[in-house]
Amino acid sequence: MTSINAERLKADLGSLGNIGRRPSGGLGRTSFSAEDTEARQWYFDRCAEAGLDVTVDGIGNIIVSSPVADELSDARRPAVWSGSHIDTVPDGGAFDGALGSIAALECLRRIHEDRLALDRPVRCIVYADEEGNYAHLFGSRAISRGFSRSELEALTGRDGDRFVDTFTAAGGDIDRAANAVLPEGTIDASVELHIEQGPVLEVEGIDIGVVTGIVGLGGGTITLRGRSDHAGTTPMNARKDAGVAAGALLASLPCIAAGVSERAVVTSGIVTFVPGGANVVPEAAHVTVDFREPTAEGVAALESALIARTKAIAAEHGLDFDIEFEETVPPAPLDGEVQSIVAAAAKGRGLRHIPIHSGAGHDSQNIATVAPTGMIFVPSIDGRSHCPEEDTKWDDVANGGQVLLDTIIKLANR
């Protein structure tokens, strides 16, 4: 059985984890930013070092192949894909996405180095903008569902930049981006290694999570529009204060989630007041919302509840409002056969494993719409993620990498 080079995997995770490091100790590699571009160049260098071939598709996904392995396999057959992302949330951790991206590269390097003759070719992928600076799970969505040119032109990032401007400045071509959908049947099967980003595996003393499905999610921006006034001379009962209305909306989020189900979650991570003066009653408040539930009905119910609550608050405060929601990303059940192969791989390595549902969104939920797809989780220390404290034990990193390699080989030869 082929083994990963765990030391190399660990070293690569360590060096990628130094790119985009913030004073807080967290990582800031927002997609298509200078830090993300530096990380992508680092990744290209690792591929070149290993003698692997790299292409970048129309939306910026990086696709890696081994000329040696392709020579030995039937390169005309659809490929087994594995990968994740290397962009991060604004102050994120060193394992979210990076683990699955580097481990997939390590698997392809080992297949390449050992000249494994597999029945199917293997590709490792780095998906662009998984963290949704422009749209949730952007890169994998663009190759599975696609974005029209007008949709791409309407996209803006967290910092208010237009996607087309940032993307073209980073060397992207919008015409290619609008035509990035994969030809049907390109992917034979897909498997992604990822940290759990929750507490279950650690609390239950489990090594490997065999992911059964991924949560559905939606999001966007709710804008409440009032009137700017002097903070000192305007009586409280004469205001159209968008800030106070935004506060009422934020305070109602727990109740909105509980009103849908125990597993529903709603988050607002960015609130912007306009004009943003401490002594000015805000005329507008832009409130981002991210909402999730394991079922499509639950996601739809959250969206309707947020709209209804916004309408009620706007009426109560005498304000106008706008709501701009992205198209929701459907929940994805993962493939039964791939799950069994992951479970058998974990068992084969003497690792404790359980089925587990993902409350985090992943590129795999888009890829699952075009190919049989599975995911492998490893424990997160204290269940923390999307923060500088995000951490995973090196033994778990090595276990995850090995189970990923065993799974890829099994998928390629099944």
Residues that bind Mn ion (CB under 5 A): 96-97
Instruction: Determine the Cα–Cα distance for residues 100 and 140; give it in Å rounded to an integer.
Output: 14
Instruction: Please report how close the Cβ of residue 36 comes to Mn ion at its closest, in angstroms.
Output: 14
User: Do 78 and 185 meet the contact criterion of CB atoms below 8 Å apart?
Assistant: yes
The gap from C-alpha 382 to its chain's centroid, in whole angstroms, comes to 20
- Scanning 127-135, 265-273, 346-354, 402-410 for contacts with ligand HGY by CB under 6 A, the matching segment is 127-135
The answer to whether residue 130 forms part of the interface with ligand HGY (CB under 6 A) is: yes
The answer to whether residue 83 forms part of the interface with ligand HGY (CB under 6 A) is: no
Residue 42 burial by CB count (10 A; 0-12/13-18/19+): exposed, middle or buried? Answer: middle
First to last CA, the chain: 16
Task: Decide whether 314 or 329 has the Cβ nearer to ligand HGY.
Answer: 329
Of 124, 153, 155, 150, nearest in space to 138 by CA: 155
Per-residue CA distances from 170 to 31, 160, 166, 174 (Å): 10, 17, 6, 11
The answer to whether residue 390 forms part of the interface with ligand HGY (CB under 6 A) is: no
User: Do 372 and 359 meet the contact criterion of CB atoms below 8 Å apart?
Assistant: no
Instruction: Determine the Cα–Cα distance for residues 64 and 104; give it in Å rounded to an integer.
Output: 10
* Count of chain residues binding ligand HGY (CB under 6 A): 5
Task: Decide whether 40 or 109 has the Cβ nearer to ligand HGY.
Answer: 40
Task: Decide whether 97 or 331 has the Cβ nearer to Mn ion.
Answer: 97
Instruction: Please report how close the Cβ of residue 219 comes to ligand HGY at its closest, in angstroms.
Output: 9
Task: Decide whether 136 or 410 has the Cβ nearer to ligand HGY.
Answer: 136
Residue carrying the six token digits 């800030």: 243
User: Do 398 and 9 meet the contact criterion of CB atoms below 8 Å apart?
Assistant: yes
Instruction: Please report how close the Cβ of residue 297 comes to ligand HGY at its closest, in angstroms.
Output: 20
The answer to whether residue 192 forms part of the interface with ligand HGY (CB under 6 A) is: no
R_g (Cα) of the chain, nearest Å: 22
Task: Decide whether 2 or 369 has the Cβ nearer to ligand HGY.
Answer: 369
The answer to whether residue 363 forms part of the interface with ligand HGY (CB under 6 A) is: no
Instruction: Determine the Cα–Cα distance for residues 332 and 29; give it in Å rounded to an integer.
Output: 27
Give 165's Cβ-side CA count (13 Å radius). 8
Task: Decide whether 106 or 290 has the Cβ nearer to ligand HGY.
Answer: 290
* Residue 361, binding choice from ligand HGY, Mn ion, none, Cβ under 5 to 8 Å by partner class: ligand HGY
Instruction: Please report how close the Cβ of residue 72 comes to ligand HGY at its closest, in angstroms.
Output: 35
Site string (132-151) toward ligand HGY, x via CB under 6 A: x-------------------
The answer to whether residue 360 forms part of the interface with ligand HGY (CB under 6 A) is: yes
Instruction: Please report how close the Cβ of residue 198 comes to ligand HGY at its closest, in angstroms.
Output: 11
Instruction: Please report how close the Cβ of residue 285 comes to ligand HGY at its closest, in angstroms.
Output: 23
Instruction: Determine the Cα–Cα distance for residues 57 and 102; give it in Å rounded to an integer.
Output: 19
* Residue 406, binding choice from Mn ion, ligand HGY, none, Cβ under 5 to 8 Å by partner class: none
DSSP 379: -
Instruction: Please report how close the Cβ of residue 299 comes to ligand HGY at its closest, in angstroms.
Output: 13
Instruction: Please report how close the Cβ of residue 70 comes to ligand HGY at its closest, in angstroms.
Output: 31
Task: Decide whether 128 or 343 has the Cβ nearer to ligand HGY.
Answer: 128
53 CB neighbour count, 10 Å cutoff = 12
The answer to whether residue 361 forms part of the interface with ligand HGY (CB under 6 A) is: yes
Task: Decide whether 353 or 362 has the Cβ nearer to Mn ion.
Answer: 362
Residues paired with 285 in a beta bridge: 224, 273
Which positions ≥6 away from 6 have C-beta within 8 Å? 394, 397, 398, 401, 402
Binding site for ligand HGY (CB under 6 A): 130-132, 360-361
